[in-house]
Structure 1
Amino acid sequence: MSARTGVDEGLWRELAPQTLGRLLRTYGSAQFDVCEDAVQDALLDAHRQWATRPPDDPQAWLTATARRRYVDRVRSDVRRRDREDRVARLDAPLAGKAARGDDALLLLQLCCHPDLPRSAQVALTLRAVAGLTTAQIANAYQLPETTIAQRITRAKRRLADDGSGFPRPEHTGERLGPVLDVLYVMLTEAHHTTSGAPARDADLAAEAIHLARLLRQASPQSTEVAGLLALMLLTEARHPARVGPLDRLVPLDEQDRTRWDRALVDEGLALLDAVVPGASPGPYLLQACIAGVHARATDTASTDWAEIQVLYALLERATGGRNPTISLNRIVAQAMNTGPEAVLASLDALAAAHPRLPRVDAVRAHLLERAGRTAEAASAYRRAIAATVNVAEQRHLRERLRRLGDG
């Protein structure tokens, strides 16, 4: 609980999309911008009032307040020519009861509007449903904040100009691609936060897994949905060993695997065992298979790095070679098989082709350290520290540099 607001951030993240979903069903998806603004107004009211007067039913309070804020906004919107139509709509909201299922999942599907480019669908949904900031979305895609902000603004403007609202998908698989992308970015930000303080966003991780479970129930035949859920479970299982005291990051090769959450590991591996045989694996199932290889090994030495290297090669092919981070991870796996010296040339070529690629210097420093090239490794660590804004990663890299000097 926050002393200032009287409510923790996890509850905010749960309440906001649920409230927005209810307003959209009441007043129509064509009113997305106004509904979103009304929810933000209601959240500000809650921040001011709940610290001293917390409601008995936070969701009901927030929904009622957002509805009032919506009415206020529509009545004061003198710039729009259809003002009278909007006011009339307040007296006759859309008929019908709320659809079954989770409001956040419904809103996620609605925001992945088929008339928008996929990149705009994902950015808009991450902002409206996941509650990620522009900076967080930009960090996930390694793009400038201005680019993401413009992408979201253009998407909203296009939907407002179109006037067709947010059509429901005829079936879950219709918008599965962008929906999976949204959940994957939520997972990434939860475990590699933009600022690194804290190192992990537990509430965002829980919400991503919750939505993935709902999506799995709605799309039981999709191996990609199953793969993403398995990847989430196996990633979340490592958390007890991945983050140490004072939010210190513990790399995989140093983690005490007996501290991994065995229930989540078993659930993730069982899911893979159920869907992998006979499947034509896509990107998310392949990543889950890689996580599964790590989960089945007792330590780094016993890990089947040859299989991981092959899986990363398949993942590169499945994504058309468009994601340099996958290539970077494949180089790391290859180094575990062949030794660090054999891959340094490949790493240099990748860095030359993608000069803004994160973690290149950190990987180079680790490989040089393993190769015994201490002075070069120290220089690479210093460049890696300067290149990251993530506090937890900076702390980890500084510790590696200090240990290198002590050695």
Structure 2
Amino acid sequence: MNPPLLRELVPAVISVLVRRGADFPSAEDAVQEALIRALEELAVEAEPPAGPAPATDDTLRLYFLCAHPTLPPASAVALTLRAVGGLTTRQIAAAYLVPEATMAQRISRAKRRIAGLPLDQPGDLATVLRVLYLVFNEGYGGDVDLAAEAIRLTRQLAALTDEPEVAGLLALMLLHHARRASRTGPGGRLVPLGEQDRSRWDTGMITEGVAILQAALARDRLGEYQAQAAIAALHADARSASETDWVQIVEWYDELLLRTGSPVVRLNRAVAVGEADGPRAGLAALADVDSGVPRYTAVAAYLHERAGDLEHAAELYAEASRAATSVPERDHLTRAAARVRGLLPP
């Protein structure tokens, strides 16, 4: 059985077991450790009744149930990604920027905490949105089916609530997913945003994302997903990289930073400042970022290259390539180091 099909079926199997009286951790363990047997139980449960019955999709319900009120948000997200999203512990650890062993302990503690508890108190919307966001980002890194599943579930959620942040998240996903075909070249080669063939962007998806975002922003209840979507929309609106409205993008990063205080947002803001006000301004903004943030060295290399400090830029690109977490990223940074070294005088 192929992985995409398993990701589609696992939530339904877990839901069947929970409805039949199993607590969530036991149900999740049964599915993970004895998937074939669980699928056989599902087949029995799913036998057609005497009369017609509407099709059901329990996946979104399980997302809410995993966000149990007794769990801290970080634990609820991790548990949901593992049990319902179909991600491995290693993938979740990478999303959280923590060691795999740490994440395994977090998931185990979360399962023990809700063992035996009735799953009749759905968790909060913010946690569910965070789960969907992380699932999409994992898919955005290479698993297209996982990203599409996150979009499908967020559409469901948007149909059930008028919360602007749900619409903002859906818009953000659509705007990013619209660039999917242009993000890699032959052999899986990474193509940076500024070098992508924009004729390959999905204009229909962009149009839909922008319309959803505009309706959400009109509600005047700005949140972090709407701000991120606004940044993505400005990139999508530019006919070429040189026409990007970096000044507005910096302003949106300022809004986003006020709401999140995220070091990753601060890092991305430094890149935007470098484009809007010049590489020296970008390096000044970068000085406020923790050097331990992922991609810090790669950003420093880019800004130093633009500032004309080629020798230092080459060294930083090489350092960043050694710390890369994926083969396409490592190869891209290695090529950048070689390219910049080729510009140095003999």
Match of 1:303 among 244, 252, 257: 244
- Paired with 2:55 and 2:20, the residues of 1 have a C-alpha distance of 15
Give the residue type in structure 2 aligned to 1:135: R
Contact 2:273 2:285 in 1 (8 A): no
1:340 aligns with 2:269: no
Give the residue type in structure 2 aligned to 1:230: A
1:224 aligns with 2:169: no
- Paired with 1:266 and 1:338, the residues of 2 have a C-alpha distance of 29
Q: For residue 24 of structure 1, what is the aligned residue in structure 2? A: 18
1:375 aligns with 2:311: yes
TM-score scaled by structure 1?
0.79
Secondary structure of 2:244's aligned partner: coil
Q: For residue 98 of structure 2, what is the aligned residue in structure 1? A: 143
Q: Structure 1 stretches of 5 or more lacking a match?
A: 1-6, 47-58, 68-97, 193-199
- Paired with 2:337 and 2:277, the residues of 1 have a C-alpha distance of 24
Aligned length: 338
Q: For residue 267 of structure 2, what is the aligned residue in structure 1? A: 328
Secondary structure of 1:130's aligned partner: coil
- Paired with 1:255 and 1:26, the residues of 2 have a C-alpha distance of 50
1:156 aligns with 2:111: yes
- Paired with 2:212 and 2:288, the residues of 1 have a C-alpha distance of 37
Deviations 1:165-214 (A, max 9, x none): 21243xxxx6100000001111111122xxxxxxx101111111111111
Give the residue type in structure 2 aligned to 1:18: A
Contact 1:366 1:377 in 2 (8 A): yes
Secondary structure of 1:113's aligned partner: coil
Contact 2:16 2:45 in 1 (8 A): no
Q: For residue 50 of structure 2, what is the aligned residue in structure 1? A: none
Q: More displaced, 336-345 or 376-385?
A: 336-345
TM-score scaled by structure 2?
0.92
Q: Structure 2 stretches of 5 or more lacking a match?
A: 47-52
Q: CA deviation at 1:66?
A: 10
Q: For residue 138 of structure 2, what is the aligned residue in structure 1? A: 189
When residues 62 and 12 of structure 1 are mapped into structure 2, their CA distance, relative to the original with a 3 A threshold, is farther
Q: CA deviation at 1:282?
A: 0.4
Secondary structure of 2:124's aligned partner: helix
- Paired with 1:336 and 1:299, the residues of 2 have a C-alpha distance of 14
Contact 1:38 1:66 in 2 (8 A): no
Contact 2:75 2:106 in 1 (8 A): yes
Secondary structure of 2:206's aligned partner: helix
Match of 1:63 among 42, 46, 57: 42
Match of 1:389 among 302, 311, 325: 325
Contact 2:216 2:226 in 1 (8 A): no
Give the residue type in structure 1 aligned to 2:341: G
Contact 2:314 2:336 in 1 (8 A): no
Q: CA deviation at 1:60?
A: 6.3
Alignment of 1:5-20 (within 5 A): 7-20=1-14
Give the root-mean-square deviation of aligned CA atoms. Answer: 2.2
- Paired with 2:75 and 2:33, the residues of 1 have a C-alpha distance of 24
Give the residue type in structure 2 aligned to 1:111: C
Alignment of 1:87-236 (within 5 A): 101-160=56-115, 163-169=116-122, 175-192=124-141, 200-219=142-161, 221-236=162-177
Give the residue type in structure 1 aligned to 2:90: A
Contact 2:15 2:62 in 1 (8 A): yes
Larger C-alpha radius of gyration, 1 or 2? 1
Alignment of 1:308-319 (within 5 A): 308-319=249-260
Deviations 1:207-252 (A, max 9, x none): 1111111111111x11100000000001100011111111111101
Deviations 1:55-79 (A, max 9, x none): xxxx964624899xxxxxxxxxxxx
When residues 355 and 405 of structure 1 are mapped into structure 2, their CA distance, relative to the original with a 3 A threshold, is closer
- Paired with 2:43 and 2:55, the residues of 1 have a C-alpha distance of 20
Contact 1:305 1:337 in 2 (8 A): yes
Q: CA deviation at 1:280?
A: 1.8
- Paired with 1:62 and 1:356, the residues of 2 have a C-alpha distance of 47
Contact 1:42 1:65 in 2 (8 A): no
When residues 300 and 64 of structure 1 are mapped into structure 2, their CA distance, relative to the original with a 3 A threshold, is same
